[in-house]
Structure 1
Amino acid sequence: MSVGQNIPHDSSRGHVTGGSVFIDDRPMMAGEVLVLPVGVPAAAGRLKSIDYSQALKCRGVLAAFTAKDLSHNSWGTIVPEQPILVADKIGHYDEPAVLLVGTDMEDLLRAKKHVQFEIEKENGVFTIDEAIKLDRFIYKANAFKVGDADAAMAQAPHRLKGAFECGGQEHFYLESNACIAYPMEDGQIEVHASSQHPTETQHVVAEALGLSLHEVVCVVKRMGGGFGGKESQAAPFAAMAALVASKMKRPARLCLSKDDDMMMTGKRHPFKNYYEVGFDNDGRILSLKAHLYADGGAYADLSSSILDRAMFHVDGAYYLPAAHIEGAVVRTNLYSNTAFRGFGGPQGTMTIESIIEDMALHLKKDALAIRELNCYQKDHNNVTHYGQALGHNPLPELFADLKKSSDYEKRRQEIDAFNASSKTAVRGLSMTATKFGIAFTARFLNQGNASVNVHKDGTVQVSTGATEMGQGVNTKIQQVVAHAFGIPAHDVKVMATSTEKNHNTSPTAASSGSDINCAAALKAAVGIQKRLAWLFQNILAGTPMNDIAECPPLDEAKLKFEEFHFENGLLTHKPSSKSMTWLDAVKQAYFNRLSLGEYAHFKTEGLGFDKKTSQGTPFKYFTNGVAVSEVQVDLFTGEYKVLRTDILMDLGRRINPGIDKGQVTGAFVQGMGWVTSEKLFHNKEGKLLSHSPTTYKIPNVQDTPRVFNVEFIENHENRENVHRSKAVGEPPFLLGISVWTALKDAANAKSKGLISTLKSPATPEEMLMEIARHE
């Protein structure tokens, strides 16, 4: 039984020993060149000209290319408005405009200083408020409406209004954007890229070079992290490398430094969300009105879909009887913001969690009591503000179970006593939830395909459209296929992703990589299972199979597939208890000319959302969890520590418990970093200043909770997914919000009833200023 076991990550040994091959580990080929993108030194305006003549005279520089060398210079996943290289209008500071080509990176970096730009500068727009004032919008969403929000608000005994702000976040993957383009015969191009979306990379490269799609192949072996940052924005860098390879007929390698990667690529979207909430004396939410504003940066990228998901998740885990939710994406002169783990969900969920903390302070109640009161229920109050009914909803149990197992009430009393007596520190405690919808909100993306090939020695190769970025999707696919055939997982290899093997695939994103690709691989494996069962059924029936006769073609109508079982290396006929080994079955199938390979296409059923009415079923199911975090803040410095975090999640029947636990803990720490230390700094001209590990603070081991407990409930009810599992990639990221609400709870302990204005990230400086505001 492979499914449900803690099988090691398929690359774990290679990662530890250094054997895993990433893009820049690939050996240099004869004639291979290096590519260095050079960005413009302005955030807005017109690029009049580029003078790279002096750079070309520098040692080691072979060529330079600009937008005029491209056949097509615009790309974009939703709106093709972003240039690969700046030709005229400048969108943001350090936007790539010229490619220097050479054989030594040190030479290229010296030559970079000699590139001269003639720019007609304009004033840039760098904040959401500025963009709103100037009416600079990329996208305006249709409102989500349920009930009569205005009437319910007018009748509510209590009302609060305000604005919630959360900042962006750098992906900070260990491997920066990297790609190598190889010129092939007949003008074809093969690109090896660190990309979450090989199909889009293939398309952007083809369009940039004026090629047809069948003339470009994109291969992705693995990434050193992605987190959404390589869903769309890996593609233009691949196009840059491909341009050089095509023009120079030499392999071209483009591997960004961490600094250039951070300066040139987009981040998580900052949001500023205005709201008004009406509630009763107990804290029951009666009405919510909200207007969400996302900073899309210079170009559209995926911003409209990210805003939509924020609007889907503004309810968090809480029932809204009446709501009116609006949203818009503004255009600024910052890097084009893009997908990031959670994809807008965290920005929506964090808004309602912040509102609940404010309601608790206003009513002088414990925020958990308000959360429990408003939590979605099983048989009532279980329909979202966009009309989707929650199926098996474990949220009430999750809250109740974690409240008990974490000793919440006892610790609440101890923290209140500590805060009443301490003169140097203050503590906070908060429990928040995640109810994350699983599916791409663009329905057409909910599809995938897989190819399964069984070889004569009984080993198996599997190819899918999934991309491995460290999250273990290949290992889960390996387990699902091994489980189907009843063979050891080490007899199954998941191959590098390639657009020539798996076409028109969706990105590995939306927490759906395992769901879609495991299902496609299982569907293909079942096709082979059926032929092997048919073979054995004919053997048992005495069907002649010799030099002049063989097993007839599969007849589905006559196959009694349910009578056969694959386990422990055996194919067993259950009624007769007769078996043949897996290897014998494979060999017999080969000699009888039965196909041992299968291709399958999978699409997620049951999805449908009407954007005109903002009602429907955008998600296949929900992954749920709760977390309670306790913090302590120094009253004199604002420095804080996370003393303890307890997490309880529902991941259905886990395919690989160890990998899933790693995903939960990693996502939580990454989410915690977003709401605490990860602050982006720019100068007045819009240039990113925090563009390296020395200036951008991700959590380190000392920032993690001193006590960190992670548990899972047993749930076999998710019949919507392969092996009744649930997606894990993004949902636990939202649990990091509990650290921020705990910090807000700590600040509220000193607030004297004044509603908090704490922003995210709540850096020590922000905490100190928030506490000082109440003195």
Structure 2
Amino acid sequence: MADGSTNPLAAEARAVAHESAHKHVAGTAEFIDDMPEPAGTLHAAFGLSAIASGTITALDLSAVAAAPGVVGIVTAADIPGRNDMSASGSGDDPLLSTGEIRYCGQPVFAVLATDRDAARRAARCARITYDETLPVVDVAAARAAGRGPSFPPLTLARGSVEDGLAAAPLTIAGRIAIGGQEHFYLEGQVALAVPGEDGEVLLYSATQHPSEVQEAVAHILGVAAHAVRVHVRRMGGGFGGKETQPTIFAALAAVAARKFRRPVKIRPDRDDDMTITGKRHDFVVDYALGFHEDGRIEAVDAVFAARCGHSEDLSRGVTDRALMHADNAYFYPHVRLRTEPLRTDTVSNTAFRGYGGPQGVVAAERMIEEIAYALGRDPLDIRKANFYAAPDRNETPYHQDVHDNIMLRIVEELEASSHYRARRAAILAENARSPVVKRGIGLVPVKYGISFSKKAMNQGGALLAVYRDGSVHLNHGGTEMGQGLNTKVAQVVADELGIALARIRLTATATDKVPNASPTAGSVGADLNAMAAQDAARTLKARLAAFAAERAGVAEDAVVFEHEAVRIGAERIGWAELVGEAYMARVPLSATGFYRTPGLSWDRKAGRGSPYFYFTYGAACAEVAVDTLTGEYAVERVDVLQDVGRSLNPAIDRGQIEGGFIQGMGWLTTEELWWDGKGRLRTHAPSTYKIPLASDRPRVFEVRLAAWSENMAPTVGRSKAVGEPPVMLAVSVLEALGMAVASTADYRLPPRLDPPATPERVLAAIERLRRDVDFAGVLL
């Protein structure tokens, strides 16, 4: 692996277990809530607003202060620095309300007590009166109220949409409403703050972005960043919900710890967690498209309106990325895509696995579906007709060339291995015979760009230390949330040094070890941090090689690192022995590593550049069965073929694909967020919000990696990212459900089934189609 482009081990030999898997199974993996609490720890709970929009006219906390176990209260007046935790730095996201109420469940104060139960009970004793105003809850109301956000929208354009639509023989206009999603991480939000000397604070935070927590807490406390240390050993899931949202809890704990000079812990219950924290953005997409009789798209004009919530948070990046994936795998000769981010009196929406990309892909696939039903064609044929293809059909709407395109090979390989054509023909025949149970099948491709569109974020750091006994301590800027990042990074270092994996121990991600780290998000955790760790390992390896060569009087190229040993000319010495001798010779045995992704550019104002280092490609074929009397359905079979380049760890990659697909399936089928007219989130617990169960999984679930693929970009081991792309493969389930619904009207009308396609929505779509077509099958 001398240049980062080769992988000396066979792929299957690299399928080692997740470094904490045995501890997860045994229940011995330590999360923040498992840590022994320091003596004198106080427990915090938020007091939340009961309205979504208005102002506080009176705040009486006397009953709170008098409640059993209460030690004190924190309000906005106790914040020593800036009362703002905005991820964008826009100053629009207060930690605690100063009187204005922006969403139902907004933190107004916090109570500190000797135990968690006492704090939670006391927080509900507050007497708050409000001057309530009518909240703006959804996209339609925000549009009517002119509720644009504080940042400019994005436009991506190429060619002339007006000319393309005028020249196209056929045109369609439509709308799709795409629902949001709750992260529903297994480990809820949690933070523990331990005050130190000279105003310092040590924070244990369940966050994907320790550096952001550090920066925001420093601003809130009014101290320099070096006074705030953030440690993260592991999280029980994140999915984007622990990128900016943990700041709420970490900052409150830090403020309280400073005020009371005692450790402070906060862990909200699931209801409060779901009420306080942001979700996946829901969108309403209006589109017009022109196309030819053979299904080729000529022009696309679309507006992506998003419910952003009360503050900016990460909405700029999320809505931008929705546009940048609204092409999915397809070339649009003439295109204009625009965002319409809207401010609402709801919780501020935030990052979620895919970061806007899934919403863009759903919109792209709806347009393909529209064309297929208009022409009476198999949607797969329409997809193939519109794939990117060199030399003159490979420029994206943001003017980056798709130079590594393997989409057609992926799709055709899956089409053959899943027997798509034969199964579709059998389903068409069965649907013609079956009056109640209808089946559907869909094969959907996904092209997904990898890198942060904000160029500065595409960097990673690592710290590596080798001890005298040959053991290795590794720390990097990424965070472990169950995705296996630590395992992959350790494998890369073990390969580079030629040592056993067991010699390497990874410790908590820490801002005082690797500073200014980017979030573990965007699927680039391994790309950035493994490359940084490899860089550190090469520095140490070069020092040891130079020492060994000098010691033996040979050239450095005569020093070869083998498994657990080093060959120095004709001599062979054990790894630990060489390290021990290097220490005695005063060779430095620690090193930092750094990596920055090359070749990136992005001009947001112009809407053009090369924001992605490379693309990943995948496809999924899903089959469903729908009971048309009730709308209930089952996912019968799913076949997936995913491009991960040359896999660093096939076992972990398969797990990420399976989990991502099921999470995407939940978003598109059963997970429904619902706010009432007063802006109150009503789906705020497992009793009202339905994530997929084990029984909802596809009855047949075949996942394969494209073993022949190798990343053309010089990533670590020529691997590709895997965390986010599989989420979008679940669009195949939505496509299959749409086919089953459309069969009730003899496929004459597009199903236009908006996600989440709950059984209620499936039944409503069936009834709508039946209303639009008479019993003879003649359009009314």
The 5 Å alignment of 1:446-525 reads 446-525=458-537
Matched, 1:703 2:692: no
Q: What secondary structure is seen at the aligned counterpart in 2 of 1:358?
A: helix
Task: Work out whether residues 321 and 356 of structure 2, in 8 Å CA contact, stay in contact via their aligned partners in 1.
Answer: yes
Task: Work out whether residues 477 and 494 of structure 1, in 8 Å CA contact, stay in contact via their aligned partners in 2.
Answer: no
| Segments of 4+ moved more than 6 angstroms | none
* Matching residue of 2:754: 759
Task: Work out whether residues 2 and 488 of structure 1, in 8 Å CA contact, stay in contact via their aligned partners in 2.
Answer: no
Distance 2:586 2:118 in 1: 59
Task: Name which of 579, 590, 610 aligns with 1:597.
Answer: 590
Q: Residue 159 of structure 1 aligns to which amino acid in structure 2? A: T
Task: Name which of 131, 135, 147 aligns with 1:120.
Answer: 131
Which deviations, in whole Å up to 9, do the C-alpha atoms of 1:381-407 show, x marking residues without a partner? 222111111222110101110110000
Q: How big is the alpha-carbon RMSD for the aligned residues of Structure 1 and Structure 2?
A: 1.3
Distance 1:227 1:181 in 2: 24
Matched, 1:20 2:13: no
The 5 Å alignment of 1:35-114 reads 35-71=44-80, 72-78=82-88, 79-114=90-125
The 5 Å alignment of 1:177-576 reads 177-541=189-553, 560-561=556-557, 564-573=559-568, 576=569
Q: What secondary structure is seen at the aligned counterpart in 2 of 1:82?
A: coil
Which deviations, in whole Å up to 9, do the C-alpha atoms of 1:289-332 show, x marking residues without a partner? 11111110111000010011001000011111110111121001
* Matching residue of 1:548: none
Distance 1:50 1:8 in 2: 53
Q: Label 1:123 to 1:369 Cα distance change in 2 as closer, same or farther (>3 A).
A: same
My pick for the range that moved more, 715-724 or 242-251, is 715-724
Q: How much identity, in percent, do the aligned residues show?
A: 39
Matched, 1:655 2:648: yes
* 1:77 CA drift (Å): 1.2
Distance 2:601 2:83 in 1: 34
Q: Label 1:715 to 1:21 Cα distance change in 2 as closer, same or farther (>3 A).
A: same
Which deviations, in whole Å up to 9, do the C-alpha atoms of 1:356-375 show, x marking residues without a partner? 11111000000000011111
* 1:512 CA drift (Å): 0.8
Task: Work out whether residues 369 and 750 of structure 2, in 8 Å CA contact, stay in contact via their aligned partners in 1.
Answer: no
Matched, 1:11 2:23: no
Task: Work out whether residues 620 and 720 of structure 1, in 8 Å CA contact, stay in contact via their aligned partners in 2.
Answer: no
Task: Work out whether residues 153 and 287 of structure 1, in 8 Å CA contact, stay in contact via their aligned partners in 2.
Answer: yes
Distance 1:379 1:107 in 2: 67
Task: Work out whether residues 178 and 756 of structure 2, in 8 Å CA contact, stay in contact via their aligned partners in 1.
Answer: yes
Task: Name which of 677, 681, 686 aligns with 1:688.
Answer: 681
My pick for the range that moved more, 578-587 or 637-646, is 578-587
Q: What secondary structure is seen at the aligned counterpart in 2 of 1:452?
A: strand
Distance 2:726 2:51 in 1: 38
My pick for the range that moved more, 259-268 or 383-392, is 383-392
* 1:523 CA drift (Å): 0.3
Q: Residue 7 of structure 1 aligns to which amino acid in structure 2? A: V
Task: Name which of 671, 693, 711 aligns with 2:664.
Answer: 671
Q: TM-score, normalised by structure 1?
A: 0.96
Task: Work out whether residues 268 and 339 of structure 1, in 8 Å CA contact, stay in contact via their aligned partners in 2.
Answer: yes
Task: Name which of 723, 727, 730 aligns with 1:729.
Answer: 723
Distance 1:379 1:8 in 2: 43
Task: Name which of 746, 751, 771 aligns with 2:740.
Answer: 746
Q: Residue 407 of structure 1 aligns to which amino acid in structure 2? A: H
Distance 1:243 1:717 in 2: 46
Aligned residues: 756
Distance 1:425 1:510 in 2: 40
Which deviations, in whole Å up to 9, do the C-alpha atoms of 1:655-698 show, x marking residues without a partner? 11100000000000000000000001222211111111111100
Task: Work out whether residues 2 and 482 of structure 1, in 8 Å CA contact, stay in contact via their aligned partners in 2.
Answer: no
Distance 2:720 2:47 in 1: 43
* Matching residue of 1:720: 714
Distance 1:631 1:235 in 2: 41
Distance 1:378 1:474 in 2: 38
> Gapped runs of 5+ residues in structure 1?
543-558
Task: Work out whether residues 665 and 730 of structure 2, in 8 Å CA contact, stay in contact via their aligned partners in 1.
Answer: yes
Task: Work out whether residues 3 and 483 of structure 1, in 8 Å CA contact, stay in contact via their aligned partners in 2.
Answer: no
Matched, 1:646 2:657: no
The 5 Å alignment of 1:580-595 reads 580-595=573-588
Which deviations, in whole Å up to 9, do the C-alpha atoms of 1:475-511 show, x marking residues without a partner? 1111011111111111111110111111111111111
Q: Residue 130 of structure 1 aligns to which amino acid in structure 2? A: A
Q: What secondary structure is seen at the aligned counterpart in 2 of 1:296?
A: strand
Distance 2:225 2:312 in 1: 24
Distance 1:262 1:722 in 2: 37
Q: Label 1:593 to 1:414 Cα distance change in 2 as closer, same or farther (>3 A).
A: same
* 1:106 CA drift (Å): 2.5
> Gapped runs of 5+ residues in structure 2?
1-7, 771-780
* 1:598 CA drift (Å): 0.5
Distance 1:731 1:617 in 2: 19
Task: Work out whether residues 47 and 119 of structure 1, in 8 Å CA contact, stay in contact via their aligned partners in 2.
Answer: yes
* Matching residue of 1:625: 618
Task: Work out whether residues 493 and 537 of structure 2, in 8 Å CA contact, stay in contact via their aligned partners in 1.
Answer: yes
Task: Name which of 41, 44, 58 aligns with 1:32.
Answer: 41
Q: What secondary structure is seen at the aligned counterpart in 1 of 2:309?
A: coil
Distance 1:431 1:593 in 2: 61
Task: Work out whether residues 154 and 320 of structure 2, in 8 Å CA contact, stay in contact via their aligned partners in 1.
Answer: no
Q: What secondary structure is seen at the aligned counterpart in 2 of 1:299?
A: coil
Q: What secondary structure is seen at the aligned counterpart in 2 of 1:324?
A: strand
* 1:609 CA drift (Å): 1.0
* 1:156 CA drift (Å): 0.5
* 1:236 CA drift (Å): 1.9
* 1:578 CA drift (Å): 4.3
Distance 1:252 1:206 in 2: 17
Distance 2:206 2:604 in 1: 33
Task: Work out whether residues 516 and 603 of structure 1, in 8 Å CA contact, stay in contact via their aligned partners in 2.
Answer: yes
Task: Work out whether residues 3 and 656 of structure 1, in 8 Å CA contact, stay in contact via their aligned partners in 2.
Answer: no
Q: What secondary structure is seen at the aligned counterpart in 1 of 2:538?
A: helix
* Matching residue of 1:546: none
* Matching residue of 1:554: none
My pick for the range that moved more, 109-118 or 449-458, is 109-118
Which deviations, in whole Å up to 9, do the C-alpha atoms of 1:129-155 show, x marking residues without a partner? 111111101144231111111101111
Task: Work out whether residues 303 and 338 of structure 2, in 8 Å CA contact, stay in contact via their aligned partners in 1.
Answer: yes
Distance 1:565 1:177 in 2: 47
Task: Work out whether residues 159 and 335 of structure 2, in 8 Å CA contact, stay in contact via their aligned partners in 1.
Answer: yes
Distance 1:372 1:141 in 2: 31
Q: TM-score, normalised by structure 2?
A: 0.95
Distance 2:167 2:743 in 1: 30
Distance 1:111 1:180 in 2: 20
Q: Label 1:765 to 1:387 Cα distance change in 2 as closer, same or farther (>3 A).
A: same
Task: Work out whether residues 201 and 227 of structure 2, in 8 Å CA contact, stay in contact via their aligned partners in 1.
Answer: yes
Task: Work out whether residues 718 and 726 of structure 1, in 8 Å CA contact, stay in contact via their aligned partners in 2.
Answer: no
Q: Residue 731 of structure 1 aligns to which amino acid in structure 2? A: P
